[in-house]
Amino acid sequence: MKVLSVVGARPQFVKEFAVTRALRDDHEEVLLHTGQHYDAEMSAVFFDELGIPEPDYQLGVGSDTHGRQTADCVVGIEEVIEAEEPDAVLVYGDTNSTLGAAIAASKSSADLVHVESGLRSYNREMPEEVNRVLTDHAADVLFAPSERAAETLQGEGLPDERIHVVGDVQYDAILAAREHARDASTILDDLALPPGEFVLATVHRPRNTDDPDRLTAILDALADAEREVVVPVHPRTEQRLQDLGLRSEYAAELRLVDPVGYLDFVRLLDAAARVATDSGGVQKEAFFLDTFCLTLREETEWVETVECGWNALVDADPDRIATGLTAPKPDGSKPSLYGDGTAATRIVDVLEDGPTPERVEPSP
Ligand code: UD1
Ligand code: UDP
C-alpha cells in the first residue's frame, strides 16, 4: 500500500508523529508538507525532535487568505497525487491544508482518509468547522476518535462502512512522549517554573486574537491569576499584540515566550496546575495528562472532556476564568474517552483491508 500523508500545521506534525511509525512498518509513505506553518518553532522543531521523516514534498504555500491558501494546497497536492499515484491520501484534523488535500484527493482515484473525523463545534463561523464537515463528507474512510464522533457521522448520513472508531492519535503521541519529555525537557528549569505551581496558557483562535476586547479580557484575567502564567505565543497572537501596541504591557505581567517544541510543551502541560487554552489539541492533551483545562471558547468539539469535569468552558469571561483557575480538580476516576493509545496501528490495520466497498472510481 502506498499512502500520501498531508501535513501543514503544528497539530498535524504531532498527529503524523503518531501515525508514521505504524504506517512505515509495512507500507510506503510519501509525506507532503504544505508549508501552512513555516517558522522553525512552528514546524522544523517537530520534525527534528520527534524524528518525523523529512517531507518528500514541500509546497511552501505560506500564509494567505483562506481561499488562496486552500487553493494553493489543492493545486500542489493534485500534482503530487498525479505523480505518485497513491492508494490513499491521509489527512488530519481541520485546517486549510486538510481541506485542500481533501478536495484534491476526492477527485482522484486515491481513497481520501480522514483522521480525527466526526468532530463538530456546531459553530460555522470557525473556519475549522467548515473544513471538518467538507472533509468528512468527501472522505472514503473516516477515522473517528470516539463513539460520539462516529454517531455524529452516522447522524449526518455517512455510511457505516466508512466509519471506524480507532481512538485518538494524539493520545498515542502523548503516551510516546510523556516520559521522554520528563527526561529530556529542561523547560521547567529554563523558565524557573516550580512543578504544580504555574498556569500554562495558549491563545490563537481568530475569535480571540482578532477581537481586541476578547483578547484583552482573556489576558487581563490571566494576569490577575495568583500563580505565574506562562504563555507560548502563537505567531498570529504575537502579531496582534504588536499591532495593538500591547506586547510589552503584557510581557510585564505574563511570561510571554516563543512557541515551544512538543516535548517542552508536554512537559509544561504535565507540570502545570491549570491550562487555559482555545486550542483543540491542548484540551485533549490536558485530559490525558490529568491537568484541569479552562477552554477560552463558548463551545468545544471535545465535549466529553467537559462532561466528565476535566474541562470547563469559560469563554473570554474574566469571572469564569478566575473561578476556573482556583477551582479544585475533579476527584474520582477518569473515564477513558479517546481509545487506548493504539489508534495509529488500528488505522493501518483498517487501511490494509483495502478500499471501501462502495467506492466508485471517478471517470477520467
Ligand atoms: C491554523 C489552523 C487552525 C489550527 C492552527 C494550529 C486553519 C484555518 N487554521 O491556524 O485550525 O488550530 O493552525 O496552530 O487552517 N504565522 C507565522 N508563522 C508561521 C505560521 C503562521 O508567522 O509559521 C502567522 C502568519 O501571520 C499567519 C498567521 O500566523 O497569517 C496565521 O497562520 P494560519 O496558518 O493561517 O492560521 P493559524 O492561526 O496558525
Ligand atoms: N504545541 C506545542 N508547542 C506550543 C503550543 C502547542 O508543541 O507552544 C502542541 C500541542 O502539544 C498540541 C499542538 O501543538 O499537540 C496543538 O496545536 P495548536 O494549539 O496550535 O492547534 P489546534 O490543536 O488548536 O488545532
Mean pLDDT for 277-294 is 98
Closest Cα to atom 29, ligand 1: which residue?
A: 236
Closest Cα to atom 20, ligand 1: which residue?
A: 37
Cα distances from 337 to residues 147, 149, 175, 233, 340, in angstroms, run 9, 11, 15, 29, 9
| Ligand 2 pocket mutation pick from 48, 282, 284, 291 by most atoms within 8 angstroms of CB | 282
Cα distances from 359 to residues 88, 98, 154, 332, 342, in angstroms, run 12, 21, 18, 46, 27
Whether the per-residue pLDDT at 38 is higher than 80: the answer is yes
Ligand 2 atom with the smallest distance to the CA of 14 is 15
Cα distances from 187 to residues 25, 125, 230, 263, 264, in angstroms, run 33, 36, 11, 9, 6
* Residues in CB range of 102: below 8 A, 6 or more apart: 91, 112, 114, 134, 135, 138, 139
Q: Are 219 and 254 in contact (CB under 8 A)?
A: yes
Count CB atoms within 10 A of the CB of residue 38. 17
Ligand 2 atom with the smallest distance to the CA of 45 is 7
Closest Cα to atom 15, ligand 1: which residue?
A: 95
Please tell me the distance between residue 128's alpha carbon and the centre of ligand 2 in angstroms: 15
Please tell me the distance between residue 359's alpha carbon and the centre of ligand 2 in angstroms: 34
Mean pLDDT for 337-362 is 80
Ligand 2 contact, 279 CB (< 6 A): yes
2-168+340-353 folds as Rossmann fold (3.40.50)
Closest Cα to atom 17, ligand 1: which residue?
A: 235
**CATH top-level class of 186-326:** alpha beta
The residue to which cell 462516529 is assigned = 150
The residue to which cell 491537568 is assigned = 291
Instruction: Specify the domain boundaries for CATH 3.40.50.2000 within the chain.
Output: 2-168+340-353, 186-326
Q: Pick 346 or 364 by higher pLDDT.
A: 346
Take residue 61 and report the three cell numbers written for it.
Answer: 504555500
Q: At CB < 8 A and 24+ separation, what contacts does 245-250 make?
A: 246/216, 246/219, 250/219, 250/223
Ligand 1 contact, 128 CB (< 6 A): yes
Q: Are 364 and 82 in contact (CB under 8 A)?
A: no
pLDDT digits (tens, 9 = 90+) for 90-140: 999 999 999 999 999 999 999 999 999 999 999 999 999 999 999 999 999
Strand partners, 33: 7, 58
| Active site residues per annotation | 204
Q: How far apart are CA 103 and CA 99, in angstroms?
A: 6
The gap from C-alpha 174 to its chain's centroid, in whole angstroms, comes to 13
Ligand 1 atom with the smallest distance to the CA of 99 is 15
Percent of the chain with pLDDT over 90: 95
Exposed / middle / buried, residue 24 (Cβ in 10 Å: 0-12, 13-18, 19+): middle
Q: Is 147 left (phi over 0), alpha (psi -120 to 50) or beta?
A: alpha
Ligand 1 contact, 204 CB (< 6 A): yes
Q: For the chain, list the strands marked E by DSSP.
A: 2-7, 28-33, 57-58, 88-92, 111-115, 141-144, 163-165, 198-202, 228-232, 255-257, 274-277, 293-295, 311-313
- The pLDDT assigned to 363 comes to 43
pLDDT digits (tens, 9 = 90+) for 65-77: 999 999 999 999 9
Q: How far apart are CA 27 and CA 348, in angstroms?
A: 9
Whether the per-residue pLDDT at 362 is higher than 90: the answer is no
Please tell me the distance between residue 265's alpha carbon and the centre of ligand 2 in angstroms: 8
The answer to whether the complex's ipTM is over 0.90 is: yes
Burial code (b: 16+ CB inside 10 Å, e: under 16) for 149-177 equals: bbebbeeeebeeebbbbbbbbbbbbbebb
Q: How far apart are CA 286 and CA 282, in angstroms?
A: 6
Cα atoms found within 13 Å of the Cα of residue 77, Cβ hemisphere only: 37
Whether the per-residue pLDDT at 325 is higher than 90: the answer is yes
Please tell me the distance between residue 360's alpha carbon and the centre of ligand 1 in angstroms: 35
Ligand 1 contact, 37 CB (< 6 A): yes
Please tell me the distance between residue 36's alpha carbon and the centre of ligand 1 in angstroms: 7
* Residues in CB range of 241: below 8 A, 6 or more apart: 215, 233, 247, 250
Mean pLDDT for 168-194 is 97
Please tell me the distance between residue 328's alpha carbon and the centre of ligand 1 in angstroms: 33
Ligand 1 contact, 132 CB (< 6 A): no
Q: Are 135 and 73 in contact (CB under 8 A)?
A: no
pLDDT digits (tens, 9 = 90+) for 42-54: 999 999 999 999 9
Ligand 1 contact, 121 CB (< 6 A): no
Ligand 1 atom with the smallest distance to the CA of 94 is 11
Find the range with the poorest average confidence among 55-59, 262-266, 288-292, 352-356: 352-356
Ligand 2 atom with the smallest distance to the CA of 259 is 8
Task: Report which residue type is found at 181.
Answer: A
Ligand 2 contact, 285 CB (< 6 A): yes
Percent of the chain with pLDDT over 70: 97
